[in-house]
Amino acid sequence: MATMQAPRAFYGQIDRFPILALSGHVRYVTVRALRAFIDDLVARNDADTMIIDLRELEAIDSTGMGLLARLGRTTLAHGRRAVIVCAVHDVMTCLKSAAFDKLFVIVEQWPFEHEPKLTELSLQSKDNRADMMGRFILDAHRDLAALSDDNQQTFAGVIEALEAELNRGGTRPS
């Protein structure tokens, strides 16, 4: 049986481009820490094209894809498209089936002559309250659903179930 590689995230720059690199299996459990970093990163780098390095990503769930969709939609709102570097066939199939090729520039080969120096990010979140985690998962799925009509249909039930769960817990989703 294959072992699931723990998710890891790294940040750096090459030339003037900010880089976010993800590896392993990115799943909903990392949503809080990654979202906070991504929101801060986009706010600080509104003039540069973001490079998302997924060359070592083994798998990504819909929540992780939703976070990437959030990053892509936010950078597009600033007038640019983020670049995803990914040659992993299974990951590429997931991204394209969710309309990521309409939001991002996707390339298979590293576009620079050298590798960047990256710093590992902590994916540990101090606040793992169920209601907060539920909100971030819901927001990620809303961001993913917003990419296409197919995604809206695919994730409508998930979004509805998450909203109902949050409402039952006494917390209204945003």
User: Taking the CA of residue 158 as centre, how many other CA atoms within 13 Å lie in the half-sphere pointing to its CB?
Assistant: 19
The domain over range 8-123 is classified in CATH as 3.30.56.10:
no
Burial 35-58 (b: 16+ CB within 10 A, else e): bebbeebbeebeeeebbbbbbebb
Residue with more model confidence, 3 or 118 = 118
pLDDT at 170 over 70: no
- Range 91-124 burial, b when 16+ CB lie within 10 A, else e: bbebbeebbbeebbebeeeeeeeeebebeebebe
Residue 85 phi/psi, 5-degree rounding, is -105, 115
Rounded distance between C-alpha atoms, residue 88 and residue 91, angstroms: 5
Compute φ and ψ for 173, nearest 5 degrees. Answer: -65, 150
C-alpha dist (Å) from residue 171 to 14, 125, 131, 135, 163: 42, 20, 7, 9, 9
Task: Give the pLDDT score at 106.
Answer: 95
- Name the DSSP letter for residue 60: E
Share of the chain above pLDDT 70, in %: 89
The residue written with tokens 């070592």 in the block is 56
Mean pLDDT of the chain: 86
pLDDT in tens, 87-116: 999 999 999 999 999 899 999 999 999 999
Phi/psi at 14 (5° precision): -135, 130
Tens digit of pLDDT for each residue in 10-48? 999 988 889 999 999 888 877 777 888 888 887 776 667
Alpha helices in the chain (DSSP H): 31-44, 62-77, 89-97, 100-103, 130-145, 149-168
pLDDT recorded at residue 119 = 95
According to DSSP H, which parts of 24-126 are helical? Answer: 31-44, 62-77, 89-97, 100-103
